[in-house]
Amino acid sequence: MNIPNLPKIELHLHLDCSLSYEVVKKLRPGTTREEYERDFIAPENCASLEEYLKCAQEPISIMQTKEQLEAVTLDLFEQLKTDNVIYAEIRFAPLQHLNEGLSAEEVVKIVDKATSKGIEKTGVEARIILCTLRHFSEEESMETVKLVEHFKGTNVVGFDIAADETLPIDNHIKAFEYAREHGIHCTAHGGEARGPESVREIMGNFHPSRIGHGVRSIEDLKLLDDLKEKNIHLEVCPSSNVQTGIYDSVAQHRINEIYENGNSLSVNTDGRAISNVSLNEEYQKLNRHFDWQKEHFRQVNKFAIEAAFCDEKTKDLLRKKLTDH
């Protein structure tokens, strides 16, 4: 099995956590490899999710202008192409990119245009998910979800909540209600820093069709079956889960058990720089530790296509690419 040649779908991918050394050098000339590894890559074993998330601060500081946002987006497309990704959903929080005077609307417009350019240049199909963050106010969450609505018909297709999962959800219930009322696709981070109760809380209050991570659902088999019954897709990021301390190694990850239970799931990098991993490498780890073969990867990519936030015409093209290989 030639893993680099396999067509791949990536649904859980943070723009601000995926800056290559090449693009950082371009945006901050003089950056050494050592500085890059210190500031842009999280430790292999973080003390907590919070420590892992701190590594996103440095990249965000150089994603504040039109030129920077465009460069980072186009750089990510080159990384996706190298991994033979045929479709990706790229997520970011637009309200984190206003320090140099851009408006949130301008930020989204820049990334949307750069995404169209990346699609044309590389042939990698992609869409955008806008994130609110757990520590944001109700107003900030509402502003973010309304941006998704405002950009309907562009590459922007969904709404997410990210950041410190241990913080309360109260500020965000209204935004997810708004998303539901306006037919906006939703995913939500959960079941990572906290256990199954986090996933139940999200399902009960946000009603997303996907969960970012969600791996700790396996600690409650009834919950895992509920997710399967409701066809709620899990965006699994094996290496990231090891870094944030859920598992000691990928070999101990429970993705294979979730797969064997018949749950809809995909394999993702989370942040290519912060986790220092490519999608090819994620696949290689699953092949090595769980003997995943071509049919396993094809199945999770089929699940990913069904769960994707793009239109049916795009899904049909992706299905064809997957089966033609």
Q: Stretch 254-273: mean pLDDT, rounded?
A: 98
pLDDT given at position 54: 72
Q: Stretch 282-306: mean pLDDT, rounded?
A: 98
Sheet with 265-267, strands from edge to edge, namely: 8-14, 85-92, 125-133, 156-162, 185-190, 210-213, 233-236, 265-267
pLDDT given at position 324: 82
Any idea where the domains of the chain sit in the sequence? 11-310
pLDDT given at position 53: 72
CATH number corresponding to 11-310: 3.20.20.140
Higher pLDDT, 245 or 87: 87
DSSP codes joined into one string, 259-315? HHTT--EEE--B-TTTTT--HHHHHHHHHHHH---HHHHHHHHHHHHHH-SS-HHHH
Asked whether the predicted pLDDT for residue 192 surpasses 80, the reply is yes
pLDDT given at position 191: 93
Separation between Cα atoms, residue 263 and residue 255, nearest integer Å: 10
| pLDDT band with cut points at 50, 70 and 90 for residue 52 | confident
pLDDT given at position 267: 98
Q: How many CB atoms lie under 10 A from the CB of residue 318?
A: 21
pLDDT given at position 281: 98
Q: What percentage of the chain reaches a pLDDT higher than 70? A: 98
Specify the 3-state DSSP secondary structure of 214: coil
Asked whether the predicted pLDDT for residue 138 surpasses 80, the reply is yes
Separation between Cα atoms, residue 212 and residue 202, nearest integer Å: 11
Q: What percentage of the chain reaches a pLDDT higher than 90? A: 91
pLDDT given at position 170: 97
pTM of the model: 0.97
Give catalytic status of residue 192 as yes or no: yes
Asked whether the predicted pLDDT for residue 48 surpasses 90, the reply is no
Separation between Cα atoms, residue 250 and residue 269, nearest integer Å: 13
- C-alpha dist (Å) from residue 279 to 7, 103, 141, 184, 212: 11, 33, 30, 27, 16
Q: Stretch 226-240: mean pLDDT, rounded?
A: 97
| pLDDT band with cut points at 50, 70 and 90 for residue 26 | very high
Q: Stretch 117-132: mean pLDDT, rounded?
A: 98
Asked whether the predicted pLDDT for residue 47 surpasses 70, the reply is no
Q: Which of 192, 235, 281, 282 is catalytic?
A: 192
pLDDT tens-digit profile of 31-46?
999 999 999 998 877 6
Contact 84, 278 (CB under 8 A): no
